[in-house]
Amino acid sequence: MKKKSLVVVESPTKAKTIGKILGDNFTIVSSMGHIIDLPLKKLGVDIENGFEAEYVTIPGRQKVLAALKKEAKGKEAIYIATDPDREGEAIGWQLKQRVFKKGDNVLRVTFYEITPAAVKEAFTHARDFDINMIEAQVGRRILDRVVGYFLSPLLWKKIARGLSAGRVQSVALRLIIEREREIQKFISKEYWEVEAELLKGESKFSAKLDKKNNVKVEINNNIEAENICNDLKDEEFKVSEVKVSQKKRYPSPPFITSTMQQEAFNKLRFSANKTMSVAQGLYEGIDIGQDNPVGLITYMRTDSPRVAPEAISEVRDYIAMNFGKEHLPEKPNYYKVKKSAQEAHEAIRPTFISRHPESLKDFLTPDQIKLYTLIYNRFVASQMKPAIYKVTSLSIEAGEYQFSASGSTLSFAGFTAAYNDNTEDDEQDKDKPVKNAVPLLSKGDILELLKLLPSQHFTKPLGRYSDSSLIKALEEDGIGRPSTYAPIIYTLIMRDYVRRVKGYFNPTELGFKVCDLLVEYFPKILDIGFTALMEEELDEVEEGRLDKLKVLQAFYEPFKASLDFAQANVKKEIITTDQFCDKCGKPLIVKWGRRGKFLSCSDFPTCKNSKSITSGVKCPQEGCGGELIERRSKRGFFYGCSNFPKCRFVSRTLPQDKE
Ligand SMILES: [Zn+2]
Ligand SMILES: [Zn+2]
């Protein structure tokens, strides 16, 4: 009888899905993520000796490790089938190096969808480990460790113990802080607009005042607006130009990680973290009523919009059948792949186009069905024809003034039959046709003026970042990767450097302090261009074109110089208040502790008096009488009761401003 083989994956769900596909000759075990990592309590990197990393078993993971060793005994082969990216490759490599025996036949298999065909195919192409990919992962881990390890104590020295700073997160924090300062600095300016409601026959429509004597009008206040309305009220409104044109709107590419996170925020209000965990469930496999779980989408960490030829031909059949041949382009739509994108990677798409979201309603959670529907429809739309609009634009003369009106009607739905990519969100696409039923008129037509509508407006600063717009910015700046967008945001929130308020990131006072300290002492580490360069260099390590050691050295030299200067110069900051100690009468100062901000006597440690800073909001617990206090923990920011531990009330928001 043939000996069994062992397959290692990182999650129990994935183990179950794959187990059913591979059958009885394979034992599947889950590593539950990384088993080996840098040590928790020390640097774990020998900088002098080529940045040699010291790996140890993660505390609490010894059991899993022992189980893996036991399962590996007497196996024909050990297949590492962790996720197809740097992390997955590294988990497998660590196991091969440190857990399995020298003589064991350890092989790597990768697949981008957990379907019988893809998994079986992958096992016929089991390969050796990709050392370059592992080098890139280790390089990133070391960089992040060195930065975190040396920066955190400076934050403790100046602000509060227990704080930490990461490499890429700090740059993301900087973007949020700089935006906040622009908003604070912004001076809003008043301006007015004048609209005319016009009638021709049965058709009513509105036109906007653009120019006076062919020069753009600027209306600064209500008096100017009123004067213009007075000028206009007896003028004759006459059509001076009619333009009819056709406008095509093309579908967007199928999702990659960043675009999926953006759309899931814009359409479903999912945070990036939520999107990723829901997508992971869909990818790893869901019981859909047959006897085996099925992977419903392709791998969710990808930066390539490429689609496998079989999937393209399936979706083309589906489009022809369900939307009609007229919606199907002659040739498949191809989308440009970024140069940094992995060639083997694919877009995020449904694994089987026959599994329509409607048919899965009974098996998926509401969140899963929402995200799956979005992925499904976006993929279908990406292979459809453009939508066609008929756009009518009118120019209208009224005495010295010129108005314009434009409107559009859909003449062919194209991809919009499958996917509506309009959002009511901040970043409105200026190319999107506006709805305004402008009738088709002729030059010289006289219009009846029904009403003049002056309206007051104020210029607005750029909005705060959301999950969607921050990911877009990180991607454009070249400092995010599919595996990092969600953790960056998650970390900033957990550290209470920013708070998500109604979906938008508001930096906290602590966030400002951390950012300012880092920007002052580590301008290079906090520089967007430099961080983008480091990311690019790690990509080059992965491609085998650059030595990891070179990247680390080029980084460490300037870092060390900044670090030495900072260690010598960063001093504790004293924040005074106008309050006094009720025990000794000396002034109270603001301090940050592990659990948040508080007032301390300035004569500490002689006087140990301290006071909480309350929000002024009463604890909603009946009969408590305490006040709510801002607190932070390892799991982020919350409000607790001043009567803790007697009262254990906690909340993420103040009772009166529920999100
Ligand atoms: Zn005191
Ligand atoms: Zn209470």
Which ligand sits closest to the CA of 589? 1
Give the model's confidence band at 423: pLDDT under 50 very low, under 70 low, under 90 confident, else very high: low
CA of 433 to the centre of ligand 1 (A): 66
Of 325-329, 424-428, 529-533, the poorest mean pLDDT is in: 424-428
CA of 316 to the centre of ligand 2 (A): 61
Q: How far apart are the first and last CA of the chain?
A: 62
190-250+389-458: CATH class = mainly beta
pLDDT of amino acid 659: 39
pLDDT of amino acid 623: 86
Among the listed residues 103, 105, 41, 28, the one whose alpha carbon sits nearest the alpha carbon of residue 67: 28
- CA 168 → CA 145, 259, 478, 552, 591, distances in Å? 12, 20, 11, 15, 27
pLDDT of amino acid 429: 46
**Mean pLDDT of the 367-395 span:** 96
Burial of 243 (0-12, 13-18, 19+ CB in 10 A): exposed
Burial of 473 (0-12, 13-18, 19+ CB in 10 A): middle
Residue 430: is its pLDDT beyond 50?
A: no
CA of 650 to the centre of ligand 2 (A): 9
Segments making up each domain of the chain, as ranges = 5-129, 137-185+464-569, 190-250+389-458, 257-382, 575-657
Sign of the Cα torsion 460, 465, 469, 470 reads positive
Instruction: Give the up-direction half-sphere exposure of residue 362: CA atoms within 13 A in the CB hemisphere.
Output: 4
**Mean pLDDT of the 428-448 span:** 72
Q: Kindly give the residue spans of alpha helices, DSSP state H, lying in 99-221.
A: 116-124, 131-158, 167-185
**Mean pLDDT of the 383-399 span:** 94
pLDDT tens column, 530-575: 999 999 999 999 999 999 999 999 999 999 999 999 999 998 878 8
CA of 646 to the centre of ligand 2 (A): 8
CA of 599 to the centre of ligand 2 (A): 20
Instruction: Give the up-direction half-sphere exposure of residue 308: CA atoms within 13 A in the CB hemisphere.
Output: 19
Among the listed residues 626, 600, 628, 598, the one whose alpha carbon sits nearest the alpha carbon of residue 614: 628
5-129: CATH class = alpha beta
CA of 605 to the centre of ligand 1 (A): 9
Task: Catalogue the active-site residues.
Answer: 299
Sign of the Cα torsion 506, 509, 512, 518 reads negative
Which ligand sits closest to the CA of 588? 1
CA of 624 to the centre of ligand 2 (A): 5
**Mean pLDDT of the 166-173 span:** 95
Give the model's confidence band at 276: pLDDT under 50 very low, under 70 low, under 90 confident, else very high: very high
pLDDT of amino acid 259: 96
CA of 610 to the centre of ligand 1 (A): 8
Residue 657: is its pLDDT beyond 70?
A: no
Which ligand sits closest to the CA of 599? 1
Residue 23: is its pLDDT beyond 80?
A: yes
CA of 155 to the centre of ligand 1 (A): 26
Residue 381: is its pLDDT beyond 80?
A: yes
Which ligand sits closest to the CA of 650? 2
Which ligand sits closest to the CA of 584? 1
CA of 628 to the centre of ligand 1 (A): 24
Residue 636: is its pLDDT beyond 80?
A: no
CA Rg, the chain, in Å?
A: 30
Sign of the Cα torsion 182, 188, 192, 195 reads positive
- Domain 137-185+464-569 and domain 190-250+389-458 have a common topology: no
CA of 631 to the centre of ligand 2 (A): 14
CA separation for the pair 614, 29 (Å, rounded): 50
pLDDT of amino acid 41: 87
In CATH terms, 257-382 corresponds, of 3.40.50.300, 1.10.290.10, 3.30.70.2660, 1.10.1040.50, to 1.10.290.10
Of 212-216, 357-361, 613-617, the poorest mean pLDDT is in: 613-617
Give the model's confidence band at 236: pLDDT under 50 very low, under 70 low, under 90 confident, else very high: very high
Residue 431: is its pLDDT beyond 60?
A: no
Overall residue count recorded for the chain in this entry: 659
Which ligand sits closest to the CA of 642? 2
More confident residue, 160 or 519: 519
**Mean pLDDT of the 124-152 span:** 95
137-185+464-569: CATH class = mainly alpha
CA separation for the pair 587, 580 (Å, rounded): 4
Residue 519: is its pLDDT beyond 70?
A: yes
Burial of 633 (0-12, 13-18, 19+ CB in 10 A): middle
Return the axis-axis angle of helices 131-158 and 528-542, rounded to nearest 10°: 150
Residue 188: is its pLDDT beyond 80?
A: yes
**Mean pLDDT of the 506-518 span:** 94
Give the model's confidence band at 369: pLDDT under 50 very low, under 70 low, under 90 confident, else very high: very high
CA of 9 to the centre of ligand 1 (A): 58
pLDDT of amino acid 462: 94
Of 84-88, 287-291, 417-421, 515-519, the poorest mean pLDDT is in: 287-291
CA of 438 to the centre of ligand 1 (A): 73
pLDDT of amino acid 629: 87
**Mean pLDDT of the 309-316 span:** 96
More confident residue, 266 or 623: 266
pLDDT of amino acid 561: 94
What share of the chain has pLDDT > 90, as a percent? 73
Residue 341: is its pLDDT beyond 90?
A: no
Which ligand sits closest to the CA of 629? 2
CA of 646 to the centre of ligand 1 (A): 25
Give the model's confidence band at 291: pLDDT under 50 very low, under 70 low, under 90 confident, else very high: low
pLDDT tens column, 567-619: 999 988 788 888 899 999 999 988 887 777 888 899 888 999 988 887 788 88
For β-strands 401-412 and 387-398, DSSP reports them as antiparallel
**Mean pLDDT of the 82-92 span:** 93
Residue 426: is its pLDDT beyond 60?
A: no
Which ligand sits closest to the CA of 640? 2
| Average pLDDT along the chain | 91
pLDDT of amino acid 343: 65
Give the model's confidence band at 489: pLDDT under 50 very low, under 70 low, under 90 confident, else very high: very high
What share of the chain has pLDDT > 70, as a percent? 96
Q: In degrees rounded to 5, what are phi and psi of residue 440?
A: -80, 110
